[in-house]
């Protein structure tokens, strides 16, 4: 399986791109919402893909098409932001699928007895409690 094969619909990844400060170098917790789409679709997301490709082109591997319509694109969602990246801009060895992540919840009005219950419930279901803070 190539690194790009990991960029499937709804997969959450960390990745890095070839850049010259035009776009961020690294993307964390990027959810794939449009895998392998065409230039015609990618340009509808509000990014001037052709101009961006022209700026990044000198940094890309030899043999990369100069014509941005010849590239495949991926759409990612990070929080509420939508990012469109050409496959050729992504450093394939940097793609890391996120299989788990840390979460933080605020639960209000918890009695000491309920706190013990919640701790035991989480542990019994295989969760590790990293930190408990009383507010």
Q: Which of 94, 88, 13 is nearest to 56 (CA)?
A: 88
- Checking if the pLDDT of 2 tops 70, the result is no
Domain ranges of the chain: 3-97
**Which distant-in-sequence residues (6+ apart) come within 8 Å of 23 by Cβ?**
17, 52, 56, 85, 89
Instruction: Read off the pLDDT of each residue in 114-125 and give the average, rounded to a whole number.
Output: 91
Look up the pTM and report it: 0.75
- Checking if the pLDDT of 131 tops 90, the result is no
The predicted structure's pLDDT at residue 1: 53
Distance CA 102, CA 111 (A): 24
């Amino acid at each position: 399986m190539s690194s790009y094969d990991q960029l499937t619909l709804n997969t959450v990844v960390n990745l890095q791109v070839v850049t010259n400060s035009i776009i961020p170098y690294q993307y964390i917790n990027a959810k794939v919402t449009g895998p392998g789409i065409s230039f015609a679709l990618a340009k509808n997301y509000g990014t001037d893909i052709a101009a961006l490709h022209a700026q990044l082109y000198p940094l890309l591997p030899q043999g990369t098409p100069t014509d941005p319509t010849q590239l495949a694109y991926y759409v990612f969602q990070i929080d509420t932001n939508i990012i469109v990246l050409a496959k050729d801009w992504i450093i394939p060895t940097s793609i890391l699928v996120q299989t788990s992540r840390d979460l933080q919840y605020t639960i209000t009005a918890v009695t000491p007895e309920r706190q013990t219950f919640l701790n035991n419930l989480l542990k019994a279901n295989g969760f590790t409690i990293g930190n408990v803070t009383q507010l």
